[in-house]
Amino acid sequence: MQTLRTLEALENEGLVEADPRLADAARSMAIALTPELAALIDRTHLARDPIARQFVPDIRETETTPEELADPIGDEARSPVKGIVHRYPDRVLLKPLHVCPVYCRFCFRREKVGPGGEALSAAELAAALAYIRGHKEIWEVILTGGDPLMLAPRRLGELVGALDAMPHVAVIRVHSRVPIADPGRITDELLAALKPQRAGVWIGIHCNHPRELAPPARAALARLADAGFPLVGQTVLLAGINDDVETLCALMRALVSARVKPYYLHHPDLVRGTGHFRVSIARGQALMKSLRGRLSGLAQPVYVLDVPGGHGKVPIGPAYLGDDPDALTVEDAFGGRHRYPA
């Protein structure tokens, strides 16, 4: 089986039923489901399957609410140069491409990612690297997109090498779904491309359900860990997928056993057409309290909210929330205060 990229391909695999309303949902963002993840889907319970719900279009994606945003975390507001997001003083995002092995239906960049989406030209990438080179306060560069491990190993190696040649860049972090969604890409050539001479490289692994950690994914993670790369996990809290304590406990334990330290549990962003994925902050806090009593400290992620408008992530424990009866008041990392729908 090849990666499924159309409604027709999903229908042929028995993953959707013919429904003209799905066409609008499919047009709202690209479709991609790899054979590795498609094989994990329980076809007898499609509506509830946690893998299918993440990647298969849903007619509810056509439903939007006033608070939902095209750019929910404010990338554009913090982008001084194409491909760069400079939200915090000491680190930047570098987005060399917008292609992924799979397309998550809740993606906060859902209107940017996909085949034909913007990728940096050679001149644009040179300008982005020049920006980093010219800002000595940048200590960490986070490669994201899109998925940077979709780059050919030669191009990835050139990019890592260019960053490694900047003495003020001490850490290169790579955010990826590839080890989970397309584990065969974790080859010796790719591992060599990720190895700088000087800087530290960390790999952020996006994983939302314990069933994603099938043997091929675990083998790919083991290859990365055995090559010396520290691995951290990022999970999005998603209604009907992982918003129960048993699933989250199983996921965090599975990550730790695969040598991935749970890092962030993301509150879902205000992405257009994703209301069916969102849970309340109160629900997320209750789940975090339940995890605290059940899991080792190694398995505890930080529950965070990316404050709309480009104000950055904050942990959303009680100390960060006000008591406005009509809306939550969230304090960002810089002391600013912002209203957020309860």
Among candidate residues 53, 78, 105, 109, the one labeled active-site is: 109
Active site residue 100: yes
Angle at CA of residue 45, ends 42 and 50, nearest 5°: 65
Among candidate residues 5, 60, 88, 155, the one labeled active-site is: 88
Distance CA 169, CA 67 (A): 37
List, as one string, the DSSP characters of 229-296: --EEEEEE--TTTT-SHHHHHHHHHHHHHTT-EEEEEEPPP-BTT-GGG---HHHHHHHHHHHHHHS-
Among candidate residues 218, 306, 332, 340, the one labeled active-site is: 306
Among candidate residues 71, 147, 243, 269, the one labeled active-site is: 269
Let me know: does 175 contact 101? Beta carbons within 8 Å.
no
Active site residue 88: yes
Active site residue 109: yes
Among candidate residues 95, 100, 263, 340, the one labeled active-site is: 100
Among candidate residues 58, 278, 313, 332, the one labeled active-site is: 313
Distance CA 146, CA 117 (A): 9
In 3-state terms, what secondary structure has residue 33?
A: strand
Among candidate residues 95, 104, 105, 243, the one labeled active-site is: 104
Let me know: does 154 contact 184? Beta carbons within 8 Å.
no
In 3-state terms, what secondary structure has residue 87?
A: strand
Active site residue 313: yes
Active site residue 104: yes
Let me know: does 105 contact 54? Beta carbons within 8 Å.
yes
Among candidate residues 53, 58, 105, 107, the one labeled active-site is: 107
Among candidate residues 5, 91, 195, 283, the one labeled active-site is: 91
Active site residue 131: no
Active site residues: 87-88, 91, 100, 104, 107, 109, 269, 306, 313
